[in-house]
Chain A
Amino acid sequence: MIGTILQNLLRFLLLVFIQVFILNQITLPGNVNAYINPNIYILFLFMLPININKQLLLLLSFICGLTIDVFSSTAGMHASACLFIGLMRPGLVNLIMPRDGYENTVELTLPGLGFRTFFIYTSTLVVLHHFVLYLIEAFNFLNFGDLLLRVIISSIATLFLITLSQLLTLRKR
């Protein structure tokens, strides 16, 4: 139990560090810059234990988003988008579960779920998160096509990084 908490806390700190001090600092040339914005920190919410209390999940989503907000002067933007992950995750986990159900010990990781299920699980939540995020950011500023392009390109970048990190850090048992 303590081990799980510690593990998740460390993962949280590491992901926030990568997000704030590496990903947010990279600038790409010209117009491309505005479109590629990977948000790897949400991986923390994806990997929380499967049997986590729903209310606690919401609270952690909020704190996770707010932490990023504080570091990027975007009061409430990431918090709001992360809350949607917290809202949808329990339902989605139920949906992707096989008919006989997962054991409570299964880990929501690439080796734990298998590539197909893991991809469906993460891509749904990533697109949802990015859509809300850029919708709030753009508001009535950019046109809708531009917004969708941002969501799609950034989602692909995020998914790529998430999959890569899973392949690099986790081994099949």
Chain B
Amino acid sequence: MRNFFLLIRRYNFILIFLLLQGFSFFLLTRNNGYQRAAIIGTSNNITGQIFDAYSNVTDYLTLGIANATLAKENAMLRQQDSSALYSKLFEIVKVEDSASLQQYEYISARVINNSVKNVNNYLTLDKGSLHGVLPEMAVISSDGVVGIVKDVSEHYSTVISLLHRATKISSKIAKNNYFGSTIWDGKSPEFAKLYDIPSHAKLEIGDSILTSTYSGIFPRDILVGTVSEIGNNGQSFKDIQIKLSTDFRTISYVYVVRNLLKAERDSLETRTIEDIQE
């Protein structure tokens, strides 16, 4: 026992190093769960407030762009409003629409921290569990897809950006519905790759790529980007580069999408898979 203590005393420097290094890797490898909420969660509230204050200042710098985007969106929404339509009837009878059911709810949020420099990028939003944000919800901007919610604290939430190596967005080609996955290649924040499109699929530069509902996270037909380069490497799948419709450098307001029917769909799908396995 005495030797054991001597050993610890002699190598305490390297032991402290290994201990702290072990703790770092513990933080790195664990993706979510209780500890993350306990450690990063509390600090999330603190750093959230700091970034909040910071973006209160820097928001003024991108005010012009943010205004233009919001104005454009307002114009679009106004067009859809009933007051913008010329009535062909003499009288409109308002009827509660029973033919459709609300499936998606949109929670507007401000981006208070954002990065495009790393291989794995995250955003921080100023809305959290108090406002109804939950992990795995989709995040979109008025231009297109942004990412997926990861961790949520009371007032803030972090979002895995589309510019992250773990993000895989199930997408389709607008004109012929061939589906594949959009994955970022870690280089320019303006471009991503579209995988799993068979080489016989007809495709031209400039074609729109939209989200498909296969993942159950994104609503259908949200713009991901447009095709900017098509390569054929002689294999059975095409090598497609797309220009992302969202400008991640200037993004400042986003919507968190809440799928009201997600729980129902998920439980149905897991039941089907379990039934087959039995």
Contact of A58 with B117 at beta-carbon distance under 8 Å, contacts A34-B187, A136-B28 already known: no
Shortest Cβ gap from B249 to chain A (Å): 5
The docked-state distance in angstroms from the alpha carbon of A24 to that of B114 is 9
What separation, in Å, do the CA atoms of A171 and B119 have in the docked complex?
Answer: 39
Which residues of B1-56 are within 8 A (CB) of A?
A: 12-14, 16-17, 20-21, 23-28, 30, 36, 40, 43, 47, 50, 54
Determine the chain B residues whose CB is within 8 A of the CB of A74 once the complex forms: 118, 120
Of A6-14, A137-145, A162-170, the stretch lying at the interface with chain B is A137-145
Residue in contact with A34 in the complex, picked from B14, B28, B158, B186, CB distance below 8 Å: B186
Q: Write the nearest CB–CB distance from A29 to chain B, whole angstroms.
A: 9
Residue-wise interface mask of A (21-48) relative to B, using a CB-CB cutoff of 8 A (1 in contact, 0 not): 1001101001101100100000000000
Q: How far is the CB of A1 from chain B (nearest CB, A)?
A: 23
Contact code string A94-132 (vs B, CB < 8 Å = 1, else 0): 000000000000000000000000000000000000000
Interface residues on B, range: 35 or more
Selected contact of A76 from candidates B13, B14, B26, B47, CB within 8 Å: B26
Number of A residues near B (Cβ < 8 Å) is 34
- Does B137 sit at the interface, judged by CB under 8 A? no
In the bound complex, CA of A27 to CA of B16 (Å): 37
> In whole angstroms, how far apart are the Cα atoms of A33 and B20 in the complex?
31
Contacts of B14 in A (CB 8 A): 87
- Given known A-B contacts A75-B27, A75-B36, A76-B27, A142 and B189 have beta carbons under 8 A apart: no
Tell me the nearest residue of chain A to B123, going by C-beta.
A73
One digit per residue, 1 when the CB lies within 8 angstroms of any chain A CB and 0 when it does not, for chain B 151-166 equals: 0000000100000010
Q: Is the interface of A mostly helix, strand, loop or mixed?
A: helix
> Are A80 and B21 in touch, CB under 8 angstroms?
yes
Q: Which residue of A lies closest to B114 (CB)?
A: A25
Chain A residues positioned under 8 Å from B36 (CB to CB): 75
Encode contact with A along B105-136: 1 for CB under 8 Å, 0 otherwise: 00000000001111110101000000000000
Docked Cα-Cα span, A137 to B117, in Å, equals 12
10 new A-B pairs (CB below 8 Å) besides A73-B122, A75-B30, A79-B20?
Answer: A27-B116, A30-B188, A33-B188, A54-B13, A58-B13, A58-B16, A73-B158, A77-B24, A80-B24, A141-B165
- A–B complex contacts, Cβ < 8 Å, 11 sampled: A33-B117, A34-B117, A34-B187, A58-B16, A62-B20, A71-B47, A71-B50, A76-B26, A79-B23, A80-B28, A137-B120
Chain A interface (Cβ < 8 Å from any Cβ of B): 21, 24-25, 27, 30-31, 33-34, 37, 54-55, 58-59, 62, 65, 69-77, 79-80, 83, 86-87, 136-138, 141-142
By Cβ-Cβ distance, the 3 closest A-B pairs, closest first, are A76-B27, A80-B24, A76-B28
- B interface, CB within 8 angstroms of A: 12-14, 16-17, 20-21, 23-28, 30, 36, 40, 43, 47, 50, 54, 58, 115-120, 122, 124, 158, 165, 186-190, 249
